[in-house]
Amino acid sequence: MTRLRDHYFPGTEPLGPDEMRVVALGTGRPFVRRAQANTSFLIELGNGDIFMMDFGAGSQKNFTALNIPYEDVTGYFVTHLHADHVGDFANVWVGGWAGGRLRAMEVWGPSGAVPEHGTKHFVETQVASYAWDTMTRVGLLPEAGQHVIVHEFDYATPATIYERNGVVIKAFPAVHIYDGPVSFRLEWNGLVFVFSGDTTPSRFMLEHGAGADLLIHEAFNTISQLMARSGYDERTAIGIGTIAHSSPEEAGKLLADLRPRRAVLYHHFNDFDTAPEIEREVRKAYDGPLDLARDLMVWTVTPQQVVTRMAVVTDHAWPNTEDHAAFRAATRAERPKMSSFLSDAILFPKGS
């Protein structure tokens, strides 16, 4: 068993060939707050692959803090199209482009009951709405980085949606308000990672979430916390906390059946005065290993151990490409020409 330092310092621990590392980039509720961004988890594998599952609003500042080049992210996976799961799309896409990505961004996400509810529609309309943004960056930045490839899959059918380089990712339905949401199961090198996205406990998770080394499942704040702290009436609190989501007690019952090597619950405001009640609720049924997620919590998963730590990061990270030669050499499109009344007003012309 490898002896790990008490904290995780990005850039100091190359992954072992049999190692999986998962980093929480966002763990909170649909309000961005300093302590917790919206949902996002990063999965790094010993084969060099890096996957991001969801990119909720505010989460990308925590990705930047890890000092991982955008170019190194293999693919982005979307559980559903709530803003607290995809709200940082522009940061991933344009930030990644400006941050050195030299190829198209690849996104996998579910279809919906109608085409307008699907991932393809979401991405295409996001891209279209940033027409001015894209047009002004081409010519300055490598052309390839502006493109997005969308792989939309059927939300209703449990299936393998990704299979490359020894990594298999399966999607299966999540039960969250309406048709469309999914959960993911990633298998690599004998290790299993399962991410619920948003769901109330369901038989889909019982079926496809079994045997996980790391299971990240959602659990909302308790009904009493939602009423006392969020000001919801009981009906609203029950609707949000147990029908749309998993209550901690129900999540505990599910975990007791699934028994992962390590369980992680996210999607609640995790504070010193809310966490104890949430844990008590979970513990009514589940007595196994458990973490209540916080932003920048890190899990090191190997066949021998599962270790939970917090990352120590700089607030002043610079996203950048490490391969400056490739960045310099990459093809640029022709720069757009501004109107002559603007270019004629430039005090210090730079040529073309």
- Which residues form the interface with Zn ion (CB under 5 A)? 82, 84, 198
d(CA 73, CA 93): 12
- How far does Cα 287 stand from its chain's mean position? 27
Minimal CA–CA distance to 123: which of 101, 149, 91, 103? 149
Name the maximum alpha-carbon separation found in the chain: 72
Shortest distance, position 37 Cβ to Zn ion, whole Å:
12
Q: Which is nearer to Zn ion, 56 or 319 (CB)?
A: 56
d(CA 282, CA 287): 8
Q: Which is nearer to Zn ion, 177 or 307 (CB)?
A: 177
Provide the 8-state DSSP code for 303: S
Q: Which is nearer to Zn ion, 57 or 313 (CB)?
A: 57
| Count of other CB atoms within 10 angstroms of residue 236 | 13
Shortest distance, position 197 Cβ to Zn ion, whole Å:
7
Q: Which is nearer to Zn ion, 70 or 220 (CB)?
A: 220
Provide the 8-state DSSP code for 72: G
Minimal CA–CA distance to 308: which of 262, 275, 272? 262
Shortest distance, position 246 Cβ to Zn ion, whole Å:
11
Specify the DSSP element, H or E, that contains 301. strand 297-301
Residue type, 66: L
Q: Which is nearer to Zn ion, 72 or 179 (CB)?
A: 179
Pair of tokens at residue 61? 């500042």
Specify the DSSP element, H or E, that contains 169. strand 167-173
Shortest distance, position 334 Cβ to Zn ion, whole Å:
41
Shortest distance, position 296 Cβ to Zn ion, whole Å:
19
Shortest distance, position 225 Cβ to Zn ion, whole Å:
16
Q: Which is nearer to Zn ion, 19 or 198 (CB)?
A: 198
Per the rule left: phi > 0, alpha: psi between -120 and 50, beta: everything else, 17 is alpha
Q: Which is nearer to Zn ion, 45 or 78 (CB)?
A: 78
Shortest distance, position 158 Cβ to Zn ion, whole Å:
20
CB 19 within 8 A of CB 302: yes
d(CA 41, CA 256): 23
Shortest distance, position 36 Cβ to Zn ion, whole Å:
12
Alpha-carbon separation of residue 154 from 68, 79, 83, 150 (angstroms): 31, 12, 20, 13
Q: Which is nearer to Zn ion, 20 or 32 (CB)?
A: 32
